[in-house]
Structure 1
Amino acid sequence: MSLPTTTKEYFWKELGSLANLSFRESKLPPLKSHEVLVKIHAVSLQYRDLVIGLGQYPANVRDQLVACSDMAGEVILAGKDAGSEWKPGDRVSANFCADHIAGETTLEIQQTAHGGPIHGVLTQYKSFRPHSLVRIPEHLSYEEASTLPCAALTAYNALMGPVPVKSGDTVLILGTGGVSIHGLQFALASGAKVIVTSSSDEKLKIATKLGAQHVINYNKTPEWQEKILEITGGRGVDHILDVVGALDQTLKAIRIGGWIHTIGFLNGTAADVSLGNLMKVCYIRGVNIGSVAQFKDMNRLLASHPEVTRPVVDKVFAFEETLQAYNYLQSQAHVGKVVIKVV
């Protein structure tokens, strides 16, 4: 077969403004014998992608960075030394950190994160090392599967971590973005009761439709932790998925011995770690995506509960509408994920 020799892609000419997102056609490097060439069909956007472009990401990224970390695509060719696992036509996603195969992460592993330390996936074709690829569930479209590497896997790692969510637990989900919606779905698939907070009644209606048993508008109920205690009869919740940095309030809403899973760096508010909060003897766990092994475990859960866990894609943009997709993400009008269809 005739292999592509060029690829069209979006990259950051410089950081500091979304207007610096630039388009180019580049020469595709020859496929190395230990690599797998993938045609990328869909890319989903992360909050991280936005803050990188705005120059607000608290870590170094490479110059002229090809954007984004999350993709789904189709294997075109596997090199002769890439092993026998992958063949043309296989539908795959790449893990966020290419070298995070299993177990805990390390600084060295973090330096293999797509769309930051190494070039990203907002391109038509890209070569990957075979160990970084994961087969995507058969029932998902490329657009749906593109949401899995960061948003879904982060939520899975949080809620299925050291003490997994179980039937009968109560889980508090802050927000209605990609990680939050996946967290809602995984908690429901595990038999837990779910409470969701948002500033938008319309978004809360969607959360209710997805299965949340309780919803709270935090603009109308600023002391929402008191409502949480009321709902749980004063006990507090078992798990909290905190994507907004609301540690002062989550410490009051968690039960004794519960788990607060902190994700991202949205607000950075200072926590009120009073003696009363310390008496909760709860666990505060920072979550940084997940491994290939966890990705495979998550995909089995998705296949076992195909409808309740189906990714929520808010809007799909064409490849030439990539800047509009970024602007839409920045508007925070979305529920679930914003996806770019690569053609």
Structure 2
Amino acid sequence: MRAVFLNGPSLQDLQKVELADPAPPGRGQVLVRMRAASLNFIDLAVAYGQYPGVGYPLIPIADGAGEIVAVGDDVTGLKIGDRVAVHPKALWTAGRGTMENTSAMRGATLPGALREFAVLDAASIVCLAGHLSFEQGAALPIAATTAWNALTCAAAGPGSTVVLLGTGGVSIFALQLAKARGARVIITSSSDAKLEQARALGADETINYATSPDWDEKVIQLTGGRGADLVLETVGSATFPRSIAATRHGGVVFTIGFITGTSTQIDLMPIIVNMLHLQGNNTGSVEDLAKTMAAIDAAHIEPVLADIFPLDELAAAFGKLSSGPVGKIAINIDW
């Protein structure tokens, strides 16, 4: 079968290779013909040698989707021809994350999406909603699941205010899912054009943090002095203190991002006095992805794809992600 190897921590080390065909699926397994992948910042970290535990060469990219072409014994609820999203955490099927079930990561410590065929545990895949393409389905596992878990953590719904930082994949999924749950959404960006796109997707309020660097104070004003029920912290050290300041008494700061660094100095008093919940996240389980998929199906949400690249333009796809697109970057796995 055909695959792509990342032979070292550089995009110059991407190489198409020929591998032996996989063995037929065993008990509880399925064989999936991979059709699409999508990029996350973890893939950038792997590509540049910034993700721990990676050994090269490896088959990169955590998120993917495809169709089942063979089914092993004792597999129920799945059949040949089913279109599926592949969960990146191969061992985390349900329940709380642990050191053991979150450490195995496709595209980092396990083979990723850029291969022609993959033998997978049936418990690690989720059928796609009928209206989704393979590229849209591949965009879901990390970004949409993370967004869903953030909203669930804050019990976001009618009457809630959700603040989203930036217009990347997680933030855009959170916007779409939050509106489906009946919440009010405030989103930030330094680009008026991106904020216009966010409004077209349903954002209730937008803040340009380039012209309003005190965006946390704007959030307080827009919420009548109350603050947000949820701030989805996708940036890191540069914005974390303002995220805390923008959150209401008893609210949630759901932190997932580190593009501006992982170290910051914060005042503990607002966290203590306002009884804030600071929640970290490492994607979610297969069960979480299934719940996310059900919500996307019920609300007929169309994932926002900034671009779709062919395999021959992988380096350009990574470059597009680095530029900060609105939504997700997908890759068509067509050999």
> Shared fold (TM-score greater than 0.5)?
yes
1:147 aligns with 2:139: yes
Residue 276 to residue 87, structure 1, CA distance change in 2 (3 Å): closer
SS at 1:118's partner residue? coil
Residue 340 to residue 202, structure 1, CA distance change in 2 (3 Å): same
1:298 aligns with 2:292: yes
Q: Please give the alpha-carbon distance, in whole angstroms, between the structure 2 residues aligned to 1:325 and 1:97.
A: 23
| Superposition CA RMSD, Å | 1.3
Match of 2:90 in 1: 98
Match of 2:55 in 1: 62
Instruction: Give the C-alpha shift of residue 318 in structure 1.
Output: 1.0
> Is the Cα–Cα contact under 8 Å of residues 65 and 116 in structure 1 kept in the other structure?
yes
1:181-260 matches, cutoff 5 A: 181-245=172-236, 246-260=239-253
Match of 1:275 in 2: 269
SS at 1:149's partner residue? coil
Match of 1:157 among 122, 143, 149: 149
Letter in 2 for 1:320: D
SS at 1:36's partner residue? strand
Q: Please give the alpha-carbon distance, in whole angstroms, between the structure 2 residues aligned to 1:72 and 1:256.
A: 40
> Is the Cα–Cα contact under 8 Å of residues 6 and 60 in structure 2 kept in the other structure?
yes
Between 1:254-263 and 1:95-104, the stretch displaced more is 95-104
Q: Please give the alpha-carbon distance, in whole angstroms, between the structure 1 residues aligned to 2:74 and 2:114.
A: 23
Q: Please give the alpha-carbon distance, in whole angstroms, between the structure 1 residues aligned to 2:4 and 2:267.
A: 43
Instruction: Give the C-alpha shift of residue 33 in structure 1.
Output: 1.7
1:40 aligns with 2:40: no
Instruction: Give the C-alpha shift of residue 269 in structure 1.
Output: 4.6
Q: Please give the alpha-carbon distance, in whole angstroms, between the structure 2 residues aligned to 1:304 and 1:138.
A: 11
Q: Deviations over 1:135-172 (max 9, x none)?
A: 110111111111110010111111113x4211110000
SS at 2:145's partner residue? helix
Instruction: Give the C-alpha shift of residue 84 in structure 1.
Output: 3.0
Unaligned runs of 5+ in 1: 1-5
TM-score of the aligned structures, taking structure 2 as reference length: 0.95
Residue 324 to residue 276, structure 1, CA distance change in 2 (3 Å): closer
1:71 aligns with 2:64: yes
Match of 1:331 in 2: 323
Q: Deviations over 1:56-114 (max 9, x none)?
A: 22x211321100111111000012x2423322101111112111111111111123211
> Is the Cα–Cα contact under 8 Å of residues 82 and 129 in structure 1 kept in the other structure?
no
Instruction: Give the C-alpha shift of residue 299 in structure 1.
Output: 1.5
Residue 168 to residue 31, structure 1, CA distance change in 2 (3 Å): same
Between 1:82-91 and 1:94-103, the stretch displaced more is 82-91
Instruction: Give the C-alpha shift of residue 274 in structure 1.
Output: 4.2
1:119 aligns with 2:146: no
Match of 1:133 among 103, 122, 125: 125
Match of 1:3 in 2: none
Match of 2:169 in 1: 178
Q: Please give the alpha-carbon distance, in whole angstroms, between the structure 2 residues aligned to 1:199 and 1:22.
A: 36
Q: Please give the alpha-carbon distance, in whole angstroms, between the structure 2 residues aligned to 1:105 and 1:326.
A: 29
Instruction: Give the C-alpha shift of residue 320 in structure 1.
Output: 1.4
1:49 aligns with 2:43: yes
Match of 1:108 in 2: 100
Q: Please give the alpha-carbon distance, in whole angstroms, between the structure 2 residues aligned to 1:9 and 1:108.
A: 28
**How many residues of Structure 1 are paired with residues of Structure 2 in the alignment?**
330
TM-score of the aligned structures, taking structure 1 as reference length: 0.93
Between 1:96-105 and 1:271-280, the stretch displaced more is 271-280
Q: Please give the alpha-carbon distance, in whole angstroms, between the structure 1 residues aligned to 2:167 and 2:121.
A: 33
Match of 2:278 among 274, 284, 306: 284
> Is the Cα–Cα contact under 8 Å of residues 175 and 243 in structure 1 kept in the other structure?
yes
SS at 1:248's partner residue? helix
Match of 2:157 in 1: 166
> Is the Cα–Cα contact under 8 Å of residues 172 and 239 in structure 1 kept in the other structure?
yes
Q: Please give the alpha-carbon distance, in whole angstroms, between the structure 2 residues aligned to 1:276 and 1:287.
A: 22
> Is the Cα–Cα contact under 8 Å of residues 22 and 118 in structure 2 kept in the other structure?
no
SS at 1:148's partner residue? coil
Q: Please give the alpha-carbon distance, in whole angstroms, between the structure 1 residues aligned to 2:248 and 2:76.
A: 48
Q: Deviations over 1:181-240 (max 9, x none)?
A: 001111111111100001111111100110101111111111111111111111100011
SS at 2:142's partner residue? helix
SS at 1:112's partner residue? coil
